[in-house]
Amino acid sequence: TAAPITTDVVVVGAGPVGLFQVFELGLLGLRAHVVDALPHAGGQCAELYPDKPIYDIPGIRACTGRELSERLQQQAAPFSPVYHLGQQVEQLQRLADDRLLLTTHTGTRFAARSLILAAGVGAFVPRALKVEGADALVGSQLFYHPHQLGHARSRHVVVLGGDETAVAAAVACATAQDAASTTLLHRRDVFTGPDALLAQLADLRAQGRIQVVAGQPAALQQAADGRLQALEVALPDGSTQALHADLLLAYLGISPKLGPIAEWGLELERKQLPVDTARFATAEPGIYAVGDINTYPGKRKLILCGFHEATLAAFAVAEQLSGQAPLLQYTTSSSHLHALLGVH
């Protein structure tokens, strides 16, 4: 295995608080590696309410979840954070020299002197297809929320799900991707998405280019060598139907999983990490927690509170790393900060 990435600080979670954390660390001269299970930054704002307006970010009358994520990324950009997206941090170990060793599910490793958990309500991971044998097909014949559909060409594709992402994938397979056949499977014959997309689905159904099936995935039919040949579906009337399939694209939604963080031996209070309110440090040396994941007397799960927490955590990390409390400098007047920010 490759040597771990050596760094001062790793931030787990690229939600609004993790992103602002990167900015505050940057002002103190620290460059962060940021890991998130999602393929994009923004946490709950980007995943749960991208188009809804937020009204309680100081100084911004209203902005959507997506806009806030974009603004925070732009603000942090001068500090060139290294994003490791689409990776769930799975393991945490303490090295003999006291550094922390983090390992993601794809095998990326970090050796860091400090770790800031900005992990919100847990890693956003796709809901799994719950039929026997499905796990072994992930990455070959089963893909969760794929963004690239090039491998659908000439394949018998079953798309699972009923929301916009699922409908868009089925439409793309039946048109641009030129699949051999496209089936859209959802528990009910009801789909959500923009009107134009639903109209396209209706057209393709009428032309027989997309087959819609209402039912629940029940079992896989595989060849002797393990290759998937069909997906057995339980229909509402109690019968079963086998759908010809050599590629499954699952859009079953995303749900947060505290998962590994709960297994790292850190003290938890109702699934949250207790911290002190001066440093936002956990009881474990070098491990801090900010945003929705932490708890302390008076805690409120609000983005603006997370911004304050991230600011104090950055000062605490800088002090831990250098042995000295950093000076407070104003962004308006400090030429040192102007140089870091690349402004004049």
The site for ligand FAD (CB under 6 A) is made up of: 12-18, 35-38, 43-45, 48-49, 54, 56, 88-89, 118-124, 260-261, 291-292, 301-304, 306
Separation CA 70–CA 72 (nearest Å): 5
The string of DSSP letters for 7-68 reads: EEEEEE--SHHHHHHHHHHHHTT--EEEEESSSSS-HHHHHT-TTSEE--BTTBS-EEHHHH
Instruction: Give the CA distances from residue 240 to residues 161, 219, 234, in Å, rounded to whole numbers and listed in that order.
Output: 18, 10, 5
> On the CB side of 315, how many CA atoms lie within 13 Å of its CA?
14
Annotated binding-site residue? 203: no
Annotated binding-site residue? 49: yes
CB of 292 to ligand FAD, least distance (A): 4
Annotated binding-site residue? 292: yes
Separation CA 301–CA 306 (nearest Å): 8
Annotated binding-site residue? 178: no
Counting other chains too, the contacts that 324-332 makes at CB distance below 8 Å and 24 or more residues apart are 326/28, 329/27, 331/27
CB of 258 to ligand FAD, least distance (A): 7
Nearer to ligand FAD, 135 or 263 (CB): 263
Annotated binding-site residue? 89: yes
CB of 136 to ligand FAD, least distance (A): 23
Annotated binding-site residue? 191: no
Helix (H) or strand (E) holding 142: strand 142-144
| Closest residue to bound ligand FAD by CB | 120
Nearer to ligand FAD, 83 or 183 (CB): 83
Nearer to ligand FAD, 48 or 341 (CB): 48
Nearer to ligand FAD, 247 or 317 (CB): 317
CB of 52 to ligand FAD, least distance (A): 7
What six digits make up the tokens of 323? 């042995």
| 3-state DSSP assignment of residue 139 | coil
Binding site for FAD, residues?
36, 44, 49, 89, 124, 292, 333
Binding site, residues?
36, 44, 49, 89, 124, 292, 333
